[in-house]
């Protein structure tokens, strides 16, 4: 085994190699606070400041490190990263950029706003335009809206935590920020903090790195309302989950409001610590769904009005049919149309809209019951004859129920007619099946995905 200074010298040589293989920012961030602790047969032990460095180096830089070791005559099969306390005399520590000094260094380009990321003020990250007033309430979001309203009136009181989940672009961020805006409107001194879970993670890493963990923890634990968007991203990251757990408990105990959003319900977030999961469902969990046609029309109208455009109904309906699931995309489509109108100084019209966005894949007028049944069978890879048969095997019943549901939702067929299409005499099964699917759609994102997938095939 080699002695400290030898190892240091050796490591400096290896670092020299590593340095030229990556950006300066990455090098300073990940390698300046490392040390070679041991060299064995085909393996080395590298000291790192904490477990974040360890995982980052293991996941992203292991080949870089092994290659550089090999180039310096240290044939290495495996590298072990070990958390290590750097004393002020070690080489590694001397090279650590001080937070103040980093401003002029390349680190800044790697991690923007490094210098002030820990001295943030409250009332952060909230878009003033995301208010309750600018939010259109309709099917799919009305329960979430009501809960957010209630929370904004008496934060920390009833629904704590408030957990909203749903697909992309359906208004989660808008609604949870609306709570923040409303609370601030009522009390401009309220400490309302909005953060995405990724930001939270990044700040946590920085806090550890610059030894500001108590500032970090204190900041979040002092919030009156803490809003964490897209919480699903902390799953699988142990240290930050632990930190969030403590933040959560501190706030909950002090009766401060916590609001969380996610793309799926807590039970479906994999690698989420059990104790967090149970806390997330300890308040109220609300599912947000794609707004229906009428609500989408109202959203388009309100967005157009806010930009002083008056849209004819045919344009509104065209757009609302054109983009059905993601309101962000819907807004994007509208913005494209309005931008062209502004450029050409013309009024928005259906022909302009279709020329900007393309002809609409309109719902084929001739969509038939047969097509729906066939598409469901095909989706589940079973023969149509099975769907129409009297058999009650599980793998046949589900596709049949989906077919019934879609015959109702897409063709508005009567229950007896639906039963008849599926070769059944009694229509009560159709009523039960459709009710069951309608109810489960509210709570089961997988079911929604299946329906969306089948519809996509139907209207493709």
- Which among Mg ion, ligand ADP, none contacts residue 49 (Cβ within 5 to 8 A by kind)? none
For Mg ion, which is the closer residue by CB, 36 or 175? 175
- Which among Mg ion, ligand ADP, none contacts residue 169 (Cβ within 5 to 8 A by kind)? ligand ADP
Encode 201-268 in three state secondary structure: HHHHHHHHHCCCHHHHHHHHHCCCEEEEECHHHHCCCHHHHHHHHHHHHHHHHCCCEEEEEECCCHHH
Phi, psi of 165 (to 5 degrees): -140, 155
Minimum gap (Å) between residue 328 Cβ and ligand ADP: 4
Q: How far apart are CA 31 and CA 48, in angstroms?
A: 8
292: number of CA atoms within 13 Å, CB side? 7
| Residue whose entry in the numeric block shows the structure tokens 């913005």 | 335
Residue 265 binds to ligand ADP (criterion: CB under 6 A):
no
Minimum gap (Å) between residue 327 Cβ and ligand ADP: 4
**Strand 257-262 to 225-229 pairing:** parallel
Minimum gap (Å) between residue 197 Cβ and Mg ion: 11
Binding region for Mg ion (CB under 5 A) out of 10-18, 44-52, 104-112, 168-176: 168-176
Residue in 195, 265, 209, 208 with CA at minimum distance from that of residue 242 = 208
Residue 33 binds to ligand ADP (criterion: CB under 6 A):
no
- Which among ligand ADP, Mg ion, none contacts residue 123 (Cβ within 5 to 8 A by kind)? none
Q: Which of 123, 158, 239, 328 binds ligand ADP (CB under 6 A)?
A: 328
Q: Which of 26, 76, 114, 173 binds Mg ion (CB under 5 A)?
A: 173
Site for ligand ADP in 143-172 (CB under 6 A): 168-172
Binding region for ligand ADP (CB under 6 A) out of 78-86, 207-215, 327-335, 355-363: 327-335
- Which among ligand ADP, Mg ion, none contacts residue 155 (Cβ within 5 to 8 A by kind)? none
Hey, CA dihedral for 271, 273, 276, 277, is it positive or negative? positive
Residue 177 binds to Mg ion (criterion: CB under 5 A):
no
Helix (H, G, I), strand (E, B) or coil at 193: strand
Minimum gap (Å) between residue 294 Cβ and ligand ADP: 12
b/e burial code for range 179-213 (CB count within 10 A of at least 16 → b): bbbbbbeeeeebbbbbbbbebbbebbbbbbbbebe
DSSP-based helix, strand, coil % in the chain, nearest 5: 55, 10, 35
Minimum gap (Å) between residue 357 Cβ and ligand ADP: 17
Site for ligand ADP in 182-201 (CB under 6 A): none
Q: Name the residues that contact ligand ADP, by CB under 6 A.
A: 134-136, 141, 168-174, 299, 327-328, 331
């Amino acid at each position: 085994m080699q002695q400290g200074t030898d190892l240091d010298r050796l490591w400096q040589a290896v670092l020299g190699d590593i340095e030229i293989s990556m950006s300066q920012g990455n090098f300073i961030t990940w390698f300046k606070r490392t040390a070679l602790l041991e060299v064995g047969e085909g393996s080395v032990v590298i000291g790192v400041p904490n477990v974040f460095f360890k995982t980052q180096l293991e996941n992203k830089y292991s080949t870089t490190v092994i290659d550089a070791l090999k180039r310096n005559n240290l044939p290495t099969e495996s590298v072990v990263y070990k958390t290590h306390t750097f004393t002020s005399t070690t080489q590694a520590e001397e090279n650590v950029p001080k937070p103040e000094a980093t401003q002029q260094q390349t680190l800044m380009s790697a991690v923007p706003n490094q210098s002030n990321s820990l001295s943030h003020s409250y009332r952060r990250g909230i878009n003033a335009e995301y208010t309750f007033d600018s939010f259109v309430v309709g099917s799919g979001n009305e329960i979430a809206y009501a809960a957010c309203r209630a929370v904004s009136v008496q934060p920390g009181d009833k629904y704590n935590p408030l957990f909203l989940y749903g697909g992309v672009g359906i208004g989660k961020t808008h609604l949870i920020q609306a709570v923040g805006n409303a609370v601030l409107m009522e009390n401009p001194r309220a400490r309302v903090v909005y953060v995405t879970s990724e930001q939270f993670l990044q700040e946590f890493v920085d806090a550890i790195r610059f030894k500001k963990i108590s500032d970090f923890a204190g900041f979040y634990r002092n919030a009156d309302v803490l809003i964490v968007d897209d919480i699903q991203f902390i799953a699988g990251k142990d240290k930050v989950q632990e930190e969030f757990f403590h933040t959560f408990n501190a706030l909950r105990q002090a009766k401060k409001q916590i609001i969380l959003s996610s793309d799926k319900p807590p039970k479906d977030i994999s690698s989420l610590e059990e104790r967090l999961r149970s806390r997330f469902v300890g308040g109220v969990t609300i599912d947000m769904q794609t707004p229906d046609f009428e609500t989408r029309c109202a959203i388009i109208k309100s967005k157009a009005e806010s930009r002083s455009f008056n849209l004819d109904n045919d344009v509104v309906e065209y757009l609302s049919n054109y983009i059905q699931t993601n309101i962000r995309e819907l807004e994007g489509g509208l913005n494209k149309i309005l931008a062209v109108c502004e450029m050409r100084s013309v009024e928005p019209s259906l022909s302009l809209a279709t020329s900007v966005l393309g002809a609409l894949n309109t719902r084929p007028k001739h969509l038939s019951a047969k097509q729906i049944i066939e598409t469901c069978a095909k989706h589940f890879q079973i023969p149509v004859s099975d769907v129409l048969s009297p058999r009650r095997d599980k793998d046949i019943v589900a596709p049949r129920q989906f077919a019934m549901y879609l015959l109702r939702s897409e063709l508005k067929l009567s229950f007896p007619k639906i039963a008849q299409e599926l070769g059944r005499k009694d229509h009560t099964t159709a009523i039960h099946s459709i009710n069951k699917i309608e109810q489960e759609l509210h709570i089961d994102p997988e079911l929604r995905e299946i329906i969306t997938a089948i519809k996509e095939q139907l209207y493709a």
